Chain A
Amino acid sequence: MGKITVATQWLEACAGCHMSFLDIDERIMELLKQVELTSSPLTDLKHPPQEGVDVGILTGAVGNEDEWAEAREMRERARFLVAMGDCAVFGGICTMRNFFDRDDVLIRGYVENESTVDGQVPCHEDLAPLTRYVKSVGEVVPVDVYLPGCPPSADAIWYVLGELAAGRVPKPERELLKYGLDGA
C-alpha cells in the first residue's frame, strides 16, 4: 500500500496539539513510512497542495476571516478532514471571547491591559478582521473525524493517523476519548 498524504494547519490555537503530535516521539519514524507530510506549520509548504491530500488535520478554532478561508481551503483539498483538539472540535478556550462584545475584547487586551502603556488596537490591511463569534471547525465546514482533548494525547493522535493510514475511519473511544487535560 502506498503512503497517504497528510496536510496540517493550525488556526486559532496555542500549538499544543501540534506539540502533542510531536510527542509520539520515535514512533514518528514508523509513521513516516506510512504517511507523507505535505504542508504544515512546521514545514516550508504552508498550504495544502492544490492536487489535494488524503487527510487534512485542523487544530484550533475559527475566529477570524483568514481562519475561515484556511478551514475552507483544507476542506476542499482533503478527502478526510480531522478536527483535532478541543478548540477545533468544540471551539475551546478561544470561545471565551464569545461572551463579550468583540471590540470590548480588543480594547481590554490592547489598551486597558494592566501591563500596557499607550496601547492601541492594531489595525492593518494584513491583519484579518475577527469574526463576531469564535466557532469550532465543525460549525464552519463538514468534519469527518473528531479528536477532542486539550491537547489530545500522543497515543490518541497515533491511533487516528494509524487508522487513516490503514484505510479505516477512526472513532476515538474510551481511553482515547478525553476532554480537556483529562488525558494527561
Chain B
Amino acid sequence: MSEVHLTINSQSVTASRGQTILAAARTAGIDIPTLCYHPALSSHGACRMCLVEVKGMRGLQTACTCPVAEGIQVETNTEAVIEGRRFALELLFSERNHYCMYCPVSGDCELQELAYRYGLDHWRYPRTYHKMAVDASNHHFVMDPNRCILCTRCVRACAEIAANHTLGLRERGSRSMIMADVSVPLGESSCVNCGACLQVCPTGALIDARGVYGGHEEDLTHTLTTCIQCSVGCALDVVTRGNRLLRVEGVWDSDPSGGLLCVDGCFKPLYDERQRITTPQIRRNGRLTPADWDEALDIAAKKLKNGSALGLAACATTNEALSTFARLFARNKAGRMEPAAPQLGYGRSAQLQDILAADLIVVAGAHPLSHQRVVGYFIKRAVDQGAHLALLDLTGSDLEDYATLLVNSEDAGLLIEKAAHVERAVVVYGVDLTPGAIKALKPLVDQSLFLALDAARNGKGAEAVGLEPLDVEEAEVLYFLLGEQRENGAMVGRLNGAFTIVQACYYSPLIEHADVVLPTPLWAERSGHFTNLEGKVSSLNAALPMPENVREEAEVLDTLIAML
C-alpha cells in the first residue's frame, strides 16, 4: 500500500492511500468527533459531526468518507467547522424528543456528550411535536423513535454484522423512521435478536429491556468472558452492577466472532426461568432433602467406591471440570452425552473467519442458524458478499433461502463442478453428516477447509480429555455432570434403579429421580477455560459470585477423587 503525506492542523501525517481522513487522524492521535460513524460498520457520512476543512476544496468535508490525498491540508477545528457541527447538533435536538431528564441513557449518550462538548446550552430552532409510538413489541429491547437521530448505525449493524437485513430507513423527510421489515412491529419482524443494533445505537433510541435504568457507566462493572451456550464460544462483555446482572454485549475485534452474538448468548441466559439449585441434597426416606457438602460428598464417594459406575458429562462446563471428571472415572467408564460430528479422516480444518473469505460454502449435516447461530450469520454474510452456498443432503434447512445449490450426495458431481471454479471453499458439517456425504465431499479436499460443528458446547474440551459420546448403560452408580444443560426427562426412564448422582445448576425431571444432587455455578459465575469448535482455548471469568452453597464442579470432583 503506498504512502500519502498530508497535514492535519499543521501536523505532518503519513497515511496509506485509500484511508479516510478520519482514519488517518485517529492513527495520528488527532481527535475528530463522530456520531453516525462506528468502527465496526461501513461509513455513512450523514451526521456531519466529523466535518473538516480541506484547503482548496469547496465547503466542508465529512472526514469519515473523504479519502486522503497527497499534500492536502486538513483543519479539524476552524470556526466554520465548529459552527457546522453545532448546527448539525442543534437540528438533531430539535427534530425529536431529547429531553434528557427522562431518558435512560442520560449521562452515557454519545449525542448528549457531543452537545456538552460544543456547549449547546439551548436550542435555537423550534421543536416539532410529532407523536411517535414506542415499539416495545420485542421481548428483549425497546425502540423509541423519539430519541432516534437516524444515524442508521442499527440498520448497518443488522445488515453488515448480523446479515439479517431486518432494519431499514423509511424516508419521509422529518418523519423518516427506522423500521423493521415492511414496517411491522419489531416483535413480529424477521429480527433474530442478536443484539447488534442495540449495541451500536449511540442514543436512547434502542434500549435493553432488562438492564435499563440499572445505572450509569461509572457504576457498572464489565467482565470479559466466553459464551458457553454453544461451541462457537463468542467473547462476552458481561455488564453487572454489584451482584446484579444487567446485560451482555459482544466484544468488538475479539475472536472468534468479532463482536457478533446471538440470542442464546446475548439475551436468553438472562431470562432463564428454571429454578436454581442452591444447596446439596440427598435422598432420605425417599425424599430429596437439603444436606451439607460433607454429608453429600461422603455418600457419593462411598457409592462410587463400592459399585460399578458410569459417568456422563453434558459438555456445558469448563475444561478443568471435564478433565477432573475424566480423572474421577479413570477406572470406570465415562463419556459425553452429546453426539459428535463424524470424523472425516481427511481435510484441513477451517477457522470461523475462513467462512467470511470463502467463495463457496458447503453445509452438510448441520443447522447452524439454529444451533451455532453465529456460524449461520457468518455464512449469510459471506453470501451477501457474493459467496455461493451449497447445501448437501440437507432438506428443510433455514439456510435454503440463501443457497444457490441444493444437492444430494448421489448428484455430487454438480458440487465438484462448482468447486472446480472457486479458490476458497469451506465445508461446514455437523452430526447429521451422512456416509454418502462424507464420500461426496472427499474430492473437495484439496481446495477446501473443513469446519466441524460440535453439537456439544465444550465438545472440544471433552475430546481433549478422551470423553467420547456414550449412551447410558447398566451400572450401579450413574453420575451426571449437567451444569446448566437443559434436561427434558429423557434420562429418567433409563436409570434402571441405579444410584444417581447429578451435578447441575437447575431443577429438571432428572433431579427428581436423583439420590445425590450437587449444585453448580452458572455461566456468569464460572472461572476456568473453554475450548471452542476451532480448538481455541479462551478463559471464563466470573462476573457474578456463586450463591453461598454452590461450588465449582472441578473443585467438587477433585474432592471426590481425594476421597476414593
Contact = CB atoms under 8 A, between A and B. Distances in A.
Interface stretch (B116-124, B148-156, B236-244): B116-124
Nearest to A137: B122
A164 to B, nearest CB: 15
Nearest to A134: B129
Interface of B: 99-103, 106-107, 112, 115-116, 119, 121-123, 126-127, 129, 131
Interface string A128-142: 000001001011000
B128 to A, nearest CB: 10
A95 B131 CA distance: 12
B108 to A, nearest CB: 9
7 contacts: A95-B129, A99-B131, A136-B122, A146-B121, A180-B99, A182-B100, A182-B107
> Which bracket fits the contact residues of A?
20 to 34
B119 A99 contact: no
A173 B102 CA distance: 22
Given A177-B116, A181-B106, A146 B101 contact: no
Contacts of B101: 86, 92-93, 150, 179-181
A162 interface: no
A147 B120 CA distance: 10
A154 B115 CA distance: 21
B122 A92 contact: no
Contact of A174 (B100, B112, B116, B127): B116
Interface of A: 83, 86, 89-93, 95, 98-99, 133, 136, 138-139, 143, 146-148, 150, 171-174, 177-182
Contact of A179 (B100, B119, B127, B131): B100
Contact of A99 (B112, B115, B123, B129): B129
B106 A90 contact: no
B111 to A, nearest CB: 10
A12 to B, nearest CB: 14
A148 B127 contact: no
B127 A91 contact: yes
Given A148-B122, A174-B116, A182 B106 contact: yes
Given A92-B99, A180-B102, A83 B112 contact: no
Contact of A177 (B99, B102, B119, B123): B119
B116 A138 contact: no
A117 B544 CA distance: 50
From B99, B126, B131, name the one whose CB has the most chain A CB atoms within 10 angstroms. Answer: B99
A181 to B, nearest CB: 6
Contacts of A179: 99-101, 106, 112, 115
Contacts of B99: 86, 90, 92-93, 95, 179-180
A93 B101 CA distance: 8
A182 B104 CA distance: 10
Nearest to A85: B101
B116 A178 contact: yes
Contact of B119 (A90, A98, A171): A171
